[in-house]
Structure 1
Amino acid sequence: MKKIRYRVILLLIPLIALFIRILGRTIRWKRRYEFRKDRGKIYALWHGHALGLALFGMDRNIVVLVSRFRDGEIAARLLKHLGFEVVRGSTEEGKSHKGGRTATKKLIELLKEGKNVAITVDGPKGPPFKVKKGVVYLAQKTGRGIIPVCVKFDEYVKLNTWDRLIIPKPFTRGEVVIGEELFVPPTEDLEGARKRLEEILNRLSSDA
């Protein structure tokens, strides 16, 4: 039964993408953040804000890291339909079964080429609102800045999922909230950098 449901969802991806595009067009954005002006930036966000950023960032050639879990295949196909580039795997070093080394190497190459990369820093399975070290490792290795991102909506539904996924209501007002850019020097301890980013994101999402 689960396999049948999974296959049905895959078949419905184009329709779901169309629905998301229509929903995105109804959102009245308060302020516009122009992702196209950035070069080689790492956008860090909570998993629960992923839909919000997707609604705003469609067709801007942002690279998104997507897990190799089965659910990741659904997300990857959907994101491609929405105009994102996808890298499958994880930034968790040493976890080769999750595509850790391969994904990290690919992301480093793309960042050096000037591509912007978005990472849900508590994904793909949580725990929620806890930053994993992969994103700060990536920033340290490349010297690129991390831009903390949260998405705020006036009216929305918050699902009872592990990530507390936020789904905006049609025609609501939305805003992309950007935190101060964070750099990770070569000598900085990754745990300290991870905590810094976590504090910034928690503050941003609390304000949002």
Structure 2
Amino acid sequence: MKNKKQNKYFKKWLVSFGFDILYWLYRTCDITLKKEAPLSNSPVIYAGWHGALPILPFIFKDKKIVTMASYSEDGELITSAFKKIGLEVIRGSTHRGGISALKNMLKVIKQGYSAGLAIDGSQGPVHKVQGGVIFLSMYSGYPLVPLNVYYQHSVKLPTWDKMEIPLPFTKVAIVFGKPFYVKKGISKKEFEIIRLKLENYLFYLREVGKAALK
């Protein structure tokens, strides 16, 4: 029991320390922001790849943003880390408690918050758009704004989401895409068309970021 408690504290410290390192890396990076359309002052739903998570939370530091973390022990640690930079966190994932989490998130964004979500879910498949963000846009009435990141130099991790960690002082392009508006009452076919458009558009945004750093 004692060892289990010690391991939990160590893991919590490790996640917190790792988050601080990521923030330091973010601060050292030479960041270029690209916008395919003017950013709205009204709430929107930002959606990017799970593998871009090491840097994206910091661009929303201390802003009215709500995000999602799983019910797992790792999700609990990530929740603590996100709250350090002023983000609101709803617990849940596409695999556990997803419907409830989306309903709770809907309540929060109706209070004037924007949302930030991993568009390929918490467990993938990698770069495959999950339906949750589209449903959230549909029922909230807020546009879905895709965004992606391109690092000039990074370390690629052997994880399901092909996560990349930027190297210190590297150039980074963060690209905000054009908003997608999702109407209520669309058919399954229309839903799938939007999903595939989002998938392809995110790859395009990465290429825009790559071109911006040349």
Please list every run of 5 or more consecutive structure 2 residues that lacks an aligned counterpart in the other structure. 210-214
Show the counterpart of 2:133: 135
Indicate the larger mover: 142-151 or 7-16.
Answer: 7-16
Whether the 8 Å contact between 1:20 and 1:55 is mirrored in structure 2 is no
Whether the 8 Å contact between 2:34 and 2:176 is mirrored in structure 1 is no
> 4+ residue stretches of structure 1 with deviation over 6 A?
none
Letter in 1 for 2:145: I
**TM, length-normalised to structure 1:** 0.86
Name the CA distance, whole Å, in 2 between partners of 1:64 and 1:199. Answer: 23
Name the CA distance, whole Å, in 2 between partners of 1:51 and 1:183. Answer: 27
Letter in 2 for 1:40: P
Name the CA distance, whole Å, in 2 between partners of 1:51 and 1:159. Answer: 11
Q: Deviations over 1:155-197 (max 9, x none)?
A: 1111111101010011112121011100111132322222221
Secondary structure in structure 2 of the residue aligned to 1:125: coil
Show the counterpart of 1:26: 28
Letter in 2 for 1:29: I
Show the counterpart of 1:166: 164
Task: Give RMSD over aligned pairs.
Answer: 2.4
Letter in 2 for 1:99: G
Secondary structure in structure 1 of the residue aligned to 2:33: coil
Show the counterpart of 2:78: 75
Name the CA distance, whole Å, in 2 between partners of 1:16 and 1:47. Answer: 17
Equivalent residue runs for 1:1-208 within 5 Å: 5-31=7-33, 38-90=41-93, 92=94, 98-189=96-187, 190-208=191-209
Letter in 2 for 1:151: V
Whether the 8 Å contact between 1:14 and 1:81 is mirrored in structure 2 is no
Whether the 8 Å contact between 1:17 and 1:81 is mirrored in structure 2 is no
Name the CA distance, whole Å, in 1 between partners of 2:116 and 2:157. Answer: 22
Residues 125 and 3 (structure 1 numbering): CA distance in 2 closer, same or farther, change over 3 Å? Answer: farther
Letter in 1 for 2:106: I
Percent identity, aligned pairs only? 32
Name the CA distance, whole Å, in 2 between partners of 1:204 and 1:31. Answer: 12
Whether the 8 Å contact between 2:48 and 2:117 is mirrored in structure 1 is yes
Whether the 8 Å contact between 2:22 and 2:55 is mirrored in structure 1 is no
Whether the 8 Å contact between 2:137 and 2:143 is mirrored in structure 1 is yes
Deviation of 1:108 (Å): 1.1
Name the CA distance, whole Å, in 1 between partners of 2:206 and 2:6. Answer: 37
Deviation of 1:28 (Å): 1.4
**TM, length-normalised to structure 2:** 0.83
Please list every run of 5 or more consecutive structure 1 residues that lacks an aligned counterpart in the other structure. none
Letter in 1 for 2:165: I
Secondary structure in structure 2 of the residue aligned to 1:151: strand
Name the CA distance, whole Å, in 2 between partners of 1:121 and 1:30. Answer: 22
